[in-house]
C-alpha cells in the first residue's frame, strides 16, 4: 500500500472532495495550506513512509468507479487522466499522480526554476495511465477558474516542442465560452487572455513566469485584471 496525500490550499470544494477520497483510500492524509506547489510536493515526500506515494489536488474529486492500485509500478512518475470541469475533456491536467519519494527529495532547485513540478521531477520519465481517475473541479468561483487556466496556458505555451495536444489546449483556452456559458467558462477564457498577454511581455524573463506558482501574486493579478 502506498501513502496517499490530498494536497490542498484554498479550494472551495476541498472538504467534500476529501470525504470522497477517504472512501477510496481511508488512510489518505490531508496536507493543507503549504505555500508553493513545489514545496507541497516535497513536504508530501518527506512525510511519506512508502517508496511511492499518490498525490491528488484539493479541487479534484475521485471517480466512483476508480480504485487505487499498489502493485506493478516502477520508480517513475505516473499520471492519470481527469475530466476537466470547464471543457469536459479528458487529459492529465489536474489529475492523480504517483511519485517516487526519492526522486522528489533529490530534485534540486526545481521549486524556483521550473514551471511544472510533474515533468521536472520525472525528468520527462513518466507514464500516462489511460484511465480516468478523477474530475478536475477547479471552476468553483471566478478567481479559481481564472487562476487555473492562467497557470495552464503559461505551462503549455512555454513548452519548447509543443505537441498537437498542447496546440489544441491553447486554442480551446482562448476560444471556449462566453458570458452565458455555465461553469465560469468566461473566467477561464479571460484567464487565457491574461496569460497570453503576460507571456508575450515576459517570455524572455523566466523568473517572471514563475508567478504561476505563487497564488498570492496570482490573486493580485486577477484583482487588477479587467474582466471584459
Instruction: Give the CATH number for residue 97.
Output: 3.90.550.40
pLDDT the model gives residue 160: 83
Q: Quote the pTM value.
A: 0.90
> pLDDT digits over 27-53, tens only?
999 999 888 788 899 999 999 999 999
pLDDT the model gives residue 78: 95
Spans of the chain below 50 pLDDT: 111-113
Tell me the angle at which helices 164-175 and 142-157 cross, rounded to the nearest 10 degrees. 150
Beta strands in 73-120 (DSSP E): 77-84, 90-91, 97-100
pLDDT the model gives residue 161: 84
My answer on whether 46 and 124 are in the same domain is: yes
CA neighbor of 78 nearest in space, from 68, 63, 64: 68
CB atoms within 10 A of CB 127: 13
pLDDT the model gives residue 191: 97
My answer on whether 16 and 123 are in the same domain is: yes
Domain residue limits at 36:
3-136
My answer on whether 102 and 178 are in the same domain is: no
- The total number of structural domains that make up the chain: 2
My answer on whether 152 and 193 are in the same domain is: yes
pLDDT the model gives residue 118: 62
Give the domain-ending residue among 96, 117, 136: 136
Amino acid at each position: 500500500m502506498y501513502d496517499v496525500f490530498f494536497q490542498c490550499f484554498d479550494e472551495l470544494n476541498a472538504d467534500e472532495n476529501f470525504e470522497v477520497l477517504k472512501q477510496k483510500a481511508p488512510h489518505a492524509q490531508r496536507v493543507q495550506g503549504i505555500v508553493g506547489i513545489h514545496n507541497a510536493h516535497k513536504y508530501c515526500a518527506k512525510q511519506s513512509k512508502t517508496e511511492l506515494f499518490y498525490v491528488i489536488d484539493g479541487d479534484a474529486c475521485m471517480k466512483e468507479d476508480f480504485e487505487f492500485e499498489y502493485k506493478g509500478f516502477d520508480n517513475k512518475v505516473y499520471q492519470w487522466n481527469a475530466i476537466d470541469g470547464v471543457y469536459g475533456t479528458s487529459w492529465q491536467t489536474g489529475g492523480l499522480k504517483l511519485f517516487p519519494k526519492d526522486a522528489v527529495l533529490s530534485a534540486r532547485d526545481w521549486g524556483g526554476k521550473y514551471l511544472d513540478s510533474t515533468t521536472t521531477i520525472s525528468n520527462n520519465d513518466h507514464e500516462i495511465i489511460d484511465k480516468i481517475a478523477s474530475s478536475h473541479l477547479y471552476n468553483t468561483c471566478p478567481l479559481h477558474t481564472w487562476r487555473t487556466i492562467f497557470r495552464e496556458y503559461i505551462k503549455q505555451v512555454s513548452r519548447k516542442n509543443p505537441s498537437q495536444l498542447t496546440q489544441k489546449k491553447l486554442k480551446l483556452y482562448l476560444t471556449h465560452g462566453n458570458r452565458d456559458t455555465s461553469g465560469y467558462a468566461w473566467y477561464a477564457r479571460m484567464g487565457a487572455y491574461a496569460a497570453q498577454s503576460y507571456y508575450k511581455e515576459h517570455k524572455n524573463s523566466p523568473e517572471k513566469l514563475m508567478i504561476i506558482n505563487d497564488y498570492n501574486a496570482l490573486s493580485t493579478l486577477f484583482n487588477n485584471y479587467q474582466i471584459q
